């Protein structure tokens, strides 16, 4: 599939999913959201997040964690969950 064909198909899918509400959504945005959501869920499950980071890298198809770290910008929700857990667990992640 060509780049323009991919863009066109993604635009149609965005519209069908109701995700065309102003700022254009890019495939990269979905990867970022997936990574942050996965981390949030792991924190909520009180999982060993540090031990699971290589799994997240595998989910995203990365050979190096530094490539995965690019997607892990702190959202307000993720930071709140991590902070709450740090206080409750004495800093254990």
Handedness of CA 39, 12, 26, 57 (dihedral sign): positive
Determine what percent of the chain is predicted with pLDDT higher than 70: 91
Is residue 93 over pLDDT 50? no
Residue 32: closest CA among 4, 74, 63? 74
Q: Map out the domains of the chain as residue ranges.
A: 23-89
Task: Look up tokens 């102003």; give the residue.
Answer: 22
The pLDDT value recorded for residue 66 is: 79
- Asked whether the whole model's pTM tops 0.75, one would answer no
Is residue 32 over pLDDT 70? yes
**Could you write out the DSSP letters of every residue in the chain?**
--HHHHHHHHHHHHHHHT--SSSPP-HHHHHHHHHHHHHHHHHHTT--HHHHHHHHHHHTT-SSHHHHHTT-PPPHHHHHHHHHHHHHHTT--
């Amino acid at each position: 599939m060509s780049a323009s064909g991919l863009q066109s198909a993604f635009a149609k899918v965005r519209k069908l999913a109701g995700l065309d509400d102003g700022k254009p959504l890019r495939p990269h945005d979905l990867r970022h959201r997936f990574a942050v959501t996965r981390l949030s869920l792991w924190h909520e499950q009180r999982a060993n997040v540090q031990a699971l980071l290589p799994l997240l890298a595998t989910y995203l198809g990365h050979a190096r964690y530094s490539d995965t770290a690019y997607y892990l910008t702190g959202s307000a929700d993720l930071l709140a969950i991590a902070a709450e857990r740090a206080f409750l667990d004495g800093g254990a992640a």
